[in-house]
Amino acid sequence: MMSSDSVLPLPENPIIVGFGGVGVDFLAVVPSFPKPDSKIRTTEFTFQGGGNNGNTMTCAARLGLKPRIISKVSNDGPGKTMLEELEAEGVDTSFFVVSKEGTSPFSYVIVDNQTKTRTCIFTPGYPEMVPQDLPRANLLSALDGARMVYFDARMPDSALVIAQEAFHQNIPILIDAERPREGLNDLLSLADYVVCSENFPRAWTEASSIPRALVSIILRLPRLKFAIVTLGKDGCIMLERCVDDEGSHIEEMDVESCLTTLKERKDDSTAMPTCIASPVTKLRAKGIEESVCGRLYYGASEKIPPSELMDTTGAGDAFVGAVLYGTCNLFILPLHMLVGIF
Ligand SMILES: Nc1ncnc2c1ncn2[C@@H]1O[C@H](COP(=O)(O)OP(=O)(O)OP(=O)(O)O)[C@@H](O)[C@H]1O
Ligand SMILES: *[C@@H]1O[C@H](CO)[C@@H](O)[C@H](O)[C@H]1NC(C)=O
């Protein structure tokens, strides 16, 4: 999905910190999903690291960032495998909490090779991570020199302690919001950037469409600089807040029509991902009183032929890794040069 020659070189390698879920996947490909009480064989089997945070930080490392993970595993086989795999990818695992007892988080994943469905059975790690697992001195070392901090909204009590410290130190915070979860709102109120999955914006705001929900998110979270929603093969939409320094001179537009206009400008002749941006606009949404001064982006995904598409497990995590990479570059390059690589 990402070709290395299109990746912009970084003048330095920014340190980022990721907090959230890691795990191992026991991934079995079967000719078709088993019936209860039957015996079948795998046609392919892999045992590999996973979890949102693990995947996202691996992607970030491959793009040239220097990620550190804060998370918890046990001193068992899967736990050791995870740490080894992450280290081999260039992820710093020295801030992991390794429990002497218990089990590391793991998933059984059954891939049906006919229907291409993937059924996941997740077993959380035990004992669960608590804020006391991370002494303040370790937290401060983990955040030392960090350009950004990422959260996947797992283990909310510990996440909030880390986010509050990052906030206090003015380290930008990015949240990957998959679905409304316990403790997520506290994290969101400290966030600078949000990347969410397709259903999240409407679920969280109760707005009737994704573009309207994006306006609502930007209004509800006054610190937020942008919110991105990913739409699988349909790419992504981003709403970036802009400073309204021209007052009433900025044109007003309905956010739905704005998106329609962007989609009409999409170049269908290329298979490569493309990005189309609106001018700075006062975006209005039906049913919402206030408008947002911002720029709307439509990012079309790469057109991948079905024969080449294996499965999209972790696509969202890889996307967030690329957003972290792009956002770290924001200090160097303007946004419109970067969205193409998201
Ligand atoms: N079938 C596809 N073809 C092309 N690009 C895709 C496809 N599926 C995903 N992508 C790319 O990956 C990005 C994220 O995918 P998606 O919206 O499925 O994330 P997600 O729902 O968080 O995924 P998951 O939780 O399964 O990792 C999309 O914005 C798009 O750029
Ligand atoms: C999946 O099915 C295809 C088509 O029948 C076959 O060629 C391929 O080897 C199978 N792959 C696995 C891992 O089972």
State yes or no: cis peptide before 34, omega within 30 of 0: no
Task: Determine if ligand 2 sits within 6 Å of the CB of residue 44.
Answer: yes
Please give the DSSP secondary-structure letter assigned to residue 48: E
Q: What is the pLDDT of residues 18-34, one digit of tens each?
A: 999 999 999 999 999 99
User: What's the CA gap between 214 and 200, in Å, rounded?
Assistant: 10
Q: Give me the pLDDT at residue 244, please.
A: 77
Phi, psi of 289 (to 5 degrees): -60, -55
Q: pTM for the full model?
A: 0.90
Among 40, 43, 115, which residue has the most ligand 2 atoms within 8 Å of its CB, making it the best to mutate? 43
Q: Which residues contact 210 (CB under 8 A, 6 or more apart)?
A: 198, 201, 202, 229, 231, 237
User: What's the CA gap between 109 and 132, in Å, rounded?
Assistant: 32
Pick out the chain residues at pLDDT < 50.
Answer: 1-4, 333-334, 340-342
Q: What is the pLDDT of residues 6-17, one digit of tens each?
A: 566 656 789 999
Q: Give me the pLDDT at residue 31, please.
A: 95
Q: Give me the pLDDT at residue 330, please.
A: 72
The rounded Å distance from CA 312 to ligand 1 centre is: 6
Atom of ligand 2 nearest to the CA of 31: 14
Domains and CATH numbers, the chain: 50-99+129-341 (3.40.1190.20)
Phi, psi of 327 (to 5 degrees): -70, -35
Measuring CA to CA, how many Å separate 96 from each of 1, 44, 48, 188?
29, 31, 18, 24
Among 2, 3, 230, which residue has the most ligand 1 atoms within 8 Å of its CB, making it the best to mutate? 230
The rounded Å distance from CA 87 to ligand 1 centre is: 26
Q: Give me the pLDDT at residue 246, please.
A: 65
Longest Cα separation, the chain: 70
Task: Determine if ligand 2 sits within 6 Å of the CB of residue 29.
Answer: yes
Residue owning the nearest CA to atom 10 of ligand 2: 113
